[in-house]
Amino acid sequence: MFRAGWRRLAWTVVWLGLTGAGAAGAAEKTEEAVRLFEAHRHAEARPLLEAAVREDPSDPRAAFYLGRLFLADGDSDRAVEWIEKAVSLDAGRAEYHLWLARACGAKALAASVLKKGPLARRVKREFERASALDPDNLEARFGLIEFYLRAPGVLGGSVPKAREQAAQVGKRDPLQGHRAAGRIAEYEKRFDAALEEYSAAVREFPGETEPIYWLGSFFERRGDFASAFDTYEKLLEREPEEIADCYRIGKVAASSGDRLERGVECLKRYLSRTPGPDEPSLRAGAGSAPSGAPAGGSAKGPRPPA
């Protein structure tokens, strides 16, 4: 019996060692996969994440990024499945609830009429949970703004509630407060008021480039392509190494049919290098939204009105 006890103890030690080694290997795979994901190298990130979740099913980060990968690749069903898994493993992370809301929103777009309602309610619930866990998470608040503006009243849509969220954004970040107010003004077709919000952000924060992007995007949506061109050209002159400005100039040229030679020149320059994490991927078409475009909050532009 004494020998049997030691034998069992020895096997327990070996098993724990193997388990620990597997978890350590999975963590290394997750770290490398996240780096590849942020560089838009999804095909390389996917097998690493799939191996990581097999080797360590208790790792919420691997499940979360696998879900984000599926969402980026347009598979909203599997995105919801894996981000739900991450939430079940670590329910206290606002970021996980934020992206679960986004994944449910993407799934709702392709869902049947009967399924749209429950999914929309879940989008709202997850954005609210993210905001409750981290009241300073502005992306969650922008997600709620979009929900309140886009959803019908029967599902919880409400312009006054969108304004409440915009006010909370403004308290925490006056720059982003202009963006939120501008978004609501555009939704209400108060375009002069929206232009003033974006212009005020440019005036009040002269060292920031974000409000200049908002202004350029506003001109695009209004069909004022000449002003959009001028805005992005000034940005490129101000920050010549910011290659995403070239993408935007090329996108406006393709959308408007104007300044096509300049547009081709800029797109060729953009395609000559690997995009950064917040830039449009090389597979993005000229009419595609930048990879950082918000479903509740990007760094460089408000979502256009529905």
Low-confidence ranges of the chain (pLDDT < 70): 1-24, 275-306
CB 286 within 8 A of CB 251: yes
Query: What's the confidence (pLDDT) of residue 295?
Result: 37
d(CA 291, CA 171) in angstroms, rounded, equals: 27
User: What does the block give as tokens for 13?
Assistant: 């030690």
Using the structure block, give the residue that is written with the tokens 């290098």. 273
Tokens 């009243």 sit on residue: 153
CB 290 within 8 A of CB 300: yes
Q: What is the pLDDT of residues 82-110, one digit of tens each?
A: 999 999 999 999 999 999 999 999 999 98
State how far the alpha carbon of 76 is from the alpha carbons of 81, 110, 131, 145, in Å.
Answer: 9, 9, 22, 22
d(CA 53, CA 43): 16
How confident is the model over 208-227, as pLDDT tens digits? 999 999 999 999 999 999 99
**pTM of the predicted protein model:** 0.80
| Amino acid letter, residue 37 | F
**Domains of the chain and CATH, by start:** 43-134 (1.25.40.10)
Which one-letter amino acid corresponds to residue 237? E
Q: For residue range 156-176, what is the model confidence (pLDDT) as tens digits?
A: 999 999 999 999 999 999 999
The pLDDT value given to residue 5: 58
Give the pLDDT confidence score for residue 277 in this predicted structure: 57
Residue type present at position 172: R
What pLDDT does 214 receive?
97
Which pLDDT value is given to residue 301? 43
